[in-house]
Amino acid sequence: MNKKGQIAACPIIRPRYFYDCTLNEKLLYSSFLLLAGLAYLMALAYLYTSYNGIDGKPGLSVEDVAENYYGNRSGTRLESALRGPMAGYIDVEHRNHVVEWLKSGAPEADYERLIKPMFDERCVICHSAASGLQIPDLTSYEGVKQVANVDTGVSLHSLMKVSHIHLFGIALVAFAIGLVFRFALLPAWFQYTLTLLPFVAIFTDIAAWFLTKWDPIYAYTVIIAGGLLGLSWALQILISLYQIWFLRCRVTVESEDNGQ
């Protein structure tokens, strides 16, 4: 038998949509999407409380993001921490005393009398060698002096540490949400774009962290990329949840003309 004329062809298989899923699949996908959405909202709340007030003003702003990565070159690391992520651990009056001390040059003579009692009461339970945490030791003047220098933002070592964790973790979440979203019935160009957008946003966001460390203008890129990530995930989750429970298969009935 001559096989030269044979052409191999893949069988045509209709793609599955949400209305093809079993109830068990719908419950599984819905539970995951709801928890993923809740986790993202919690992450936004964490980011807000971490960055809020770093620039000394209430609310979250571009300046807060820029100072986190680029630093406040006119201030100190300790001041930025007290105005930002550590603001909730010290009251405003004590914080103002510490900032005033820092701006006066952080003299050792005033440390024992004014600053050490405040730190002993509020900070050293964590900021000490005994805690085992990899954070500055504030139990002595020498330790405080190390963070009383010019604030250049988060270190490159910390950026690399956080970056690889985010690249692994967020990429896996984006992959899992995308696996569910692939069952959505949408125009192909829109579905492809929305599937790819989270991965592009994650890469751009993390790359902008390092660029902002070099130039604070890239803080805008951090915010835009983060917004695109949130928007793409919100659309994927909401569209998927809607179609899981409300999308129905349209049955086309063809009538034959029997001549009657």
Same domain, 77 and 35: no
Of the three residues 98, 127, 146, the one that is the final residue of a domain is 146
Cα(237)–Cα(173) distance, integer angstroms: 12
Say whether both 141 and 166 belong to one domain: no
Residue 172 lies in a domain: yes
Number of structural domains the chain divides into: 2
Q: Pick from 94, 115, 146: which residue ends a domain?
A: 146
In a domain, 66, yes or no: no
Range 147-177 burial, b when 16+ CB lie within 10 A, else e: bbeebebbeeeebeeeeeeeeeebeebbeeb
What string of DSSP letters covers 200-213? HHHHHHHHHHHHHH
Give the residue numbers spanning the domain of 80: 73-146
In whole angstroms, give the CA distance from residue 135 to residue 153.
15
Identify the pLDDT of residue 104: 78
In a domain, 57, yes or no: no
* C-beta separation of 129 from 137 below 8 A: yes
Q: Is 175 in the same domain as 215?
A: yes
Does 62 fall in a domain? Answer: no
Could you tell me if 176 and 135 lie in one domain? no
Q: What pLDDT is recorded for position 115?
A: 84
106 and 142 fall within a common domain: yes
Angle value at C-alpha 143, between 137 and 146, nearest 5 degrees: 115
Residue 58 lies in a domain: no
Per-residue pLDDT for the chain (260 aa), expressed as one digit of tens each? 455 555 666 667 778 999 999 999 999 999 999 999 999 999 999 888 887 776 667 778 888 888 888 887 666 777 777 777 777 778 888 888 888 887 777 788 888 888 888 888 888 888 887 777 778 888 888 888 777 776 677 888 889 999 999 999 999 999 999 999 999 999 999 999 999 999 999 999 999 999 999 888 999 999 999 999 999 999 999 999 999 999 888 755 554 454 44
Q: Buried b / exposed e across 47-78, counting CB within 10 Å, b at 16+?
A: eeeebbbbbeeeebbebbbbbbbbbbeebbbb
Q: How far apart are CA 105 and CA 116, in angstroms?
A: 16
In eight-state DSSP terms, residue 59 is S
Predicted local distance difference test score (pLDDT) of residue 6: 59
Give the number of residues written for the chain: 260
Distance CA(197)–CA(224), nearest Å, equals 12
Q: What is the pLDDT of residue 152?
A: 74
For residues 91 and 217, membership in a common domain is answered with no
Do 241 and 207 share a structural domain?
yes
Same domain, 198 and 240: yes
Among residues 242, 234, 208, the alpha carbon closest in space to that of 222 is found at 208
Q: Do 142 and 158 fall into the same domain?
A: no
Same domain, 106 and 79: yes
* pTM of the predicted protein model: 0.69
Pair (85, 207) in one structural domain = no
In a domain, 28, yes or no: yes
In a domain, 3, yes or no: no
Rounded distance between C-alpha atoms, residue 240 and residue 104, angstroms: 57
Domain boundary among 146, 165, 194: 146
Beta-carbon contacts of 247 under 8 Å, excluding residues fewer than 6 positions away, are 17, 18, 19, 185
Nearest to 29 by CA among 186, 190, 182, 172: 182
Q: Do both 94 and 27 map to the same domain?
A: no
Residue 253 lies in a domain: no
pLDDT at 182: 95
Enter the tokens of residue 17.
């949509």
